[in-house]
Structure 1
Amino acid sequence: MQRDKIKEGNIDLSSPFRGTGSKRVSIQGFEGSFHQVAAEQFYGKNTEVICCATFKEVVKIAADKKQSDGGIMAIENSIAGSILPNYNLLLKGNLKIVGEIYLQIKQNLLVNPGVSLDDIREVHSHPMAIQQCFGFLDKYNWKLVETEDTALSAKHVHQHKSKHIAAIASKLAADLYNLEIIAPNIHTLKSNYTRFLVLQRQDIVNEIAGADKASINFFTDHSKGSLAKVLTKIADEGINLSKLQSMPIPGSDFKYSFHADMEFDTVEQFKKVIKKIEALTDGLSVLGIYKNGKINNTN
């Protein structure tokens, strides 16, 4: 079954760059987005992406075996922090985390071939990308135009063959839309990473050899010291708690569940601590057991 178009309102998210790889995954955004960069980093350059307008749609399609082999979803950024709604999507979806990618976000100024810096009158991109590049942009008297997506801005520059408009986007977007990088790495803060999760349907997930990280969600009875007891058990087993994120439980009166990322030496060590903390919680779900992602700065 082919999915040629995904639309949100009047936005056509059809993909003219259909891959021929063995994996077909849903992503949020357009061709050339950092989600696609992450997908190719994990699965390879021939990965076929299904572009979605929302993260909710990413999860929906990732869970449908007729449409995809899984999905890639951003979960946090080293500057902007966690994407809280996506944690709730993880809980509701019939999906497991099978991997993670840490991607350094490198912003580039893209133009049509032959365009010089003196030709540029406007720069188009997502508001966050523009903010990330103020250190460079402040040197010029260009009109800054906010758009919904970095890669879509690159696509529009290519389509309109404009000599006076540039876009801020990824190197992949430049390659896909035949644009030149007139100024590379124009982001002000160089240490800017986004963490992406690799998601697959529960029915096709196999045990991952060499897994040394897991994500869980749990909640306690909210009595005094209940959370501390759970965290103490984790520490006592020599497991590193790399992230603890609290989230309101929908429909409750200010009660919270906790998302925890745990790093360990062996899966047996993780399973041992899970048995111990289950007795201290009112509910616990293992969202995925996978390999710890590595910082990558080659995109």
Structure 2
Amino acid sequence: MTSPDFGGLGPHNSQRLLYFVRIAELGSVTSAALSLGISQPSLSTALRKLERELEVQLFDRTRGGVVLTPEGQLLVGEARSVLKNLDDFRLAVIAARSEQPEAVKVAIPSGVNVSLFAPLAQVFTRRYAPAQIHVIPTWSLAETVETVRTGKAELALLPRVSVPNDMEGHDVGHYEFALAFPPGFATPTRAVDLTALDKMPFIGSREGTAADRLVRAAHREGLKPQVVMIEPNIPSLPHLVATGVGAAMVTTTQSMELRLLGVQTRLFEPREKWSVRMIHRRTKLSPPARRLLAVAQDLRRKRG
């Protein structure tokens, strides 16, 4: 005996299969209708349509109710399997829709400019949508390392530092810095050295940052930059310089923004560059973290 042809089922096949299985379990159309919460005529109509679509008789009618025909006995097992698979599929869809997108936590200290991180974030989130990056801001390099060490972040960007022994580091890019001159101050025609900072009002930053190291280097040379503000918020630097608060050490990306504001910038001589590394603990990374690191390394190779 061959299996019933499921290809002939109409758009309501799963509902009709459910009705059929319930009748088979209870051995009565009346009892099945009560169990399903529908009228007996509606259930009988659905059963007749199923039999017409399959071109078989599924039940024999008796005084006590109904019993499965040989064709019905063949169908009931397959129908239960189909209904179970449909239930499993619906549960999987619900779980997938309620599941949070993959996310990777990245610690970024205030000294890291977004110009390096922005293209990395753009490529990663587009390539692996709906993956997310959760940025954890930190205020110092030591805090950044500790954030990764304690597992609060899986990855971190660190500028110009030695990678701790208990972690791995990967070169993902570098910054080149320039000196931005506030309005009203003479701007040299060529690259500048530390002497340009002497007696210059200067917007500093937190300890360990590029601006802090620049001021310390100037002091060692006997120069006296006038630190008028400690500003950890890198995005606000262009506007502070443009309004005349003081000079500032900026990235070459920020230099382009400053030129739009009418501010002149000059590169340092010798060139001031900071490499940036992505660090992580010496443990197996999660899939989204591995992908983000791979994207960072790929962008680094393309930049050369």
With normalisation by structure 2, the TM-score equals 0.39
Q: Which has the larger radius of gyration?
A: 2
Structure having the higher strand fraction is 1
Structure having the higher helix fraction is 2
With normalisation by structure 1, the TM-score equals 0.39
